[in-house]
Amino acid sequence: MAYHSKRSKVYHTQNNCPVGKAVKKRNRLPGTGGKKMCNFCKMAGKGMAKKGKKRTVRKKMAKKAKRRRR
């Protein structure tokens, strides 16, 4: 199920998305909210997020999410 937050510019569909995990459950809104899909979720949905790339993408996305929270 897709979800987004008011502050986010993207929506998420994957349970293992590090950026999606950073969104607190109380801030999650159902649906896409007219926003574009998260890059990690897009790659994972197409099966492109392979082990090596997946870790790199997760690290980058987690860093971005961490910066946003500050």
What range defines the domain where residue 53 resides? 3-69
Total domains in the chain come to: 1
Q: What's this model's pTM, rounded to 2 decimal places? A: 0.65
Burial class (CB in 10 A: 0-12, 13-18, 19+), 18: buried
Predicted confidence at residue 14, as pLDDT, reads 92
Q: How confident is the model at residue 33 (pLDDT cuts 50, 70, 90)?
A: very high
Q: What was the pLDDT predicted at 26?
A: 94
pLDDT band for 24, please (50, 70, 90 cuts): very high
Q: Which residue has the higher pLDDT, 41 or 52?
A: 41
Pick the residue with more confidence: 62 or 11?
11
Q: How far is CA 14 from the centre of its chain?
A: 7
Q: pLDDT above 70 covers what percent of the chain?
A: 80
